[in-house]
Structure 1
Amino acid sequence: MGAGKSRTALTSTLKHCTLWKSDRSPACRAVMMALDAMNLNITEVDVNMDKGEHRNPEMIIMNPLQTLPIFKDRELVICDSHAINTYLASRYRGSAQLLPRDAGGRALVEQLLHYDSGILYPKYRAASYPVLYEKCNCVMPDHACEIECAYRELENMLVGRQWFGGSWVTLSDISIAATISTLNILVPIDKSNYPRLSGWLHRMSEEVFFMTANKKGLGEFARRIDSSSVFDDVFKCPRSSEGRRARTGTPESELQ
C-alpha cells in the first residue's frame, strides 16, 4: 500500500517554512507531493515564471540559479527539490517509509533521486523548453527518442517490483512520478511497450498526494503546451499547503 493511502499521522504546521513554486514545474510538484505525503503544512507562494518573477532581485538573492522551487526554513535556503524532500523527511518526519533510515536503503533511494535529477529532468527540459519558450509546436524527434530511452530504462528497473524504491512508495517514486507524469504529456507512454512503467504510473496516480499536489500542475502544463498564450497565476497571495489540499475536494479524512 502506498504512503498516501496508509499514513495516519496528524498534520504538522511549520510556520517558519516557506516554499516558492510554480505548479507547472515537475520539480515543484515533487516537493508538494512530498509535503502532502508527510502531512506537512507550510506557506506556499506562487511564482509566475512567464512574467519572470523568479528573476526578481529578492529571488536571485535566495537562488542565484534562478530556478524553482526555493525552500526556506528560517535562515536555511535549499533550491533543489530532491534535497528539499530528503531534508523534510529527515528533519520533520523521520519517515522510515519515504526515506529509509538504514544506510543501504537510503542509498538506494538517493541513487534514484540522482537518476531523476541527472537523467530524467534534463530530458524534460530539453524537450519542453523549446515548446514553452521558443514557440516550437512539437517535441523534436531526437528529444522524443531520448525520452523513449528513459522509459526503457525505467521499465527494466521495475522488473520484479511495484515501486522504484522497494516494497512501498519512497521519495524516489515521488520525484520520478513528478517528472514522468509530465514527460507522458510530451511523449505518451505506450502501455504495450512499457507495461510495468505504465502500471506504476497508474498506481501512483491513485495516491492521495498525487491527486492533491500533482494533477492541477499537470493540467496547467498541458494547457501551456497546447497554447501560445501566457497564463497568469490564479492565486496571488501566500497560502498554506493545508489550504491547497482542501481546494482539491478530497475529503479531509483521506488526508489525515
Structure 2
Amino acid sequence: MGPALYVTHLTPPVRAVLMTVKSIDLDVKLKQLNVEKNEHKSPEFLKLNPQHTVPTLVDDDGFVLWDSHAIMAYLVSKYAKDDSLYPRDIKRRALVNQRLHFENGVAFPEMLKILYPILYEGKKVITQDDKIAAEEIYSFLEAFLEGKLWMAGDSVTIADYSLITTISALNVLVKIDRFVYPNLITWVKNLEQLPVYEENRKWLDSYTNYVKLLLR
C-alpha cells in the first residue's frame, strides 16, 4: 500500500519532503488538500493531525506524523538504503539537526513575516526592514557554508532540502546578492543541479508567479 502524504504544493515544507521522497525512491500516495476550502480543518483530517498542518504523513501501518523535519528524518531512517541524508553518526546528525532547527526556528518564520502581509493584507512593497531580515538569514547561511559545499558537511542532507525550499522562496522576495554571498549562491546552484531539485522547481515557479502578481 505504501505511505500517504497530505500536501499543498506551494509550501516549502511540503517541497522539502517531496525532495526527500524522490531521493530515497519511495512510492508515496499524494493527497492534495485545498486549504482555501479549509479541507485541512475537516473533521477527518483533524483526527489525523489536530494542528491541521501540511505535510502530514500516514505510513502504511497507520502511523501518523507531521512537521516536515520530523517526516524527512523518519522516512530516511525507515526507508533509505543508507544514512547519507540523515547520518547515524551522532556528531554529523547533531549538525544536521542544528541546521533543521535553524530553518524551522529562524529562516522559515522570517520568510513568513515578509510573505504573509503580501498574501493576506494587500502589502505591495518589500520594505527596508524586510531586506534587513532576509540579509541576516543570508549572512548566517554564508557563514555556515564557509569551507564546505553543503549545509551540514561534505554531502547533501535533509538539512539542505529543508533550507533550499525556504531560501528559494525568500529569494523571490529579497534577492540574494551573488557578490555578498558567494558561498550561498554556489550552494543554491549545486542544489539546482540535483535531479531531486525538480520537486522544488516545478512548484517554486507557481509560487513565484503568484507573489509577483500580488506585488504589482
- Structure 1: which 5+ runs fail to align? 1-14, 229-256
Moved over 6 A (4+): none
Q: Which amino acid in 1 is paired with 2:136? A: C
Greater RCO (CA < 8 Å, at least 6 residues apart): 1
Correspondence 1:198 to 2:185 = yes
More displaced stretch, 94-103 vs 108-117: 94-103
Q: Which amino acid in 2 is paired with 1:21? A: V
Instruction: Please list, as runs of the form range in 1=range in 2, the aligned pairs for 1:168-179 lying within 5 A after superposition.
Output: 168-179=155-166
Correspondence 1:89 to 2:76 = yes
Instruction: Please list, as runs of the form range in 1=range in 2, the aligned pairs for 1:73-112 lying within 5 A after superposition.
Output: 73=59, 74-93=61-80, 95-112=82-99
Q: Which amino acid in 1 is paired with 2:2? A: H
Contact 1:98 / 1:169 at 8 angstroms: preserved in 2?
A: yes
Q: Could you tell me which of 4, 7, 10 is aligned with 1:24?
A: 10
1:20 match: secondary structure: strand
Which residue matches 2:48? Answer: 62
Q: Distance in 2 between matches of 1:127 and 1:63?
A: 27
Which residue matches 1:152? Answer: 139
Which residue matches 1:39? Answer: 25
Q: Distance in 2 between matches of 1:56 and 1:139?
A: 35
With structure 1 as the length reference, what TM-score do the two structures score? 0.80
Provide the aligned C-alpha RMSD in A: 1.3
Contact 1:23 / 1:220 at 8 angstroms: preserved in 2?
A: no
Q: Distance in 1 between matches of 2:48 and 2:118?
A: 28
Contact 1:127 / 1:144 at 8 angstroms: preserved in 2?
A: no
Q: Distance in 2 between matches of 1:55 and 1:140?
A: 33
Shift in Å at residue 131 of structure 1?
1.1
CA deviation map 1:81-124 (0-9, x unaligned): 00000000111115321111111111111111111111111012
Shift in Å at residue 137 of structure 1?
1.8
Q: Distance in 2 between matches of 1:81 and 1:120?
A: 14
Say if 1:161 and 1:171 are closer, same or farther in 2 by CA, change over 3 A: same
Which residue matches 2:169? Answer: 182
Q: Distance in 2 between matches of 1:115 and 1:50?
A: 29
Contact 2:24 / 2:81 at 8 angstroms: preserved in 1?
A: no
1:214 match: secondary structure: helix
Contact 1:22 / 1:48 at 8 angstroms: preserved in 2?
A: yes
1:33 match: secondary structure: helix
- Structure 2: which 5+ runs fail to align? none
CA deviation map 1:156-187 (0-9, x unaligned): 11111011111110111111111111111111
Greater helix content: 2
Q: Which amino acid in 1 is paired with 2:201? A: K
Q: Distance in 1 between matches of 2:119 and 2:52?
A: 17
CA deviation map 1:24-53 (0-9, x unaligned): 100000000000111111100112223322
Q: Distance in 2 between matches of 1:191 and 1:126?
A: 24
More displaced stretch, 131-140 vs 160-169: 131-140
Q: Distance in 1 between matches of 2:192 and 2:141?
A: 17
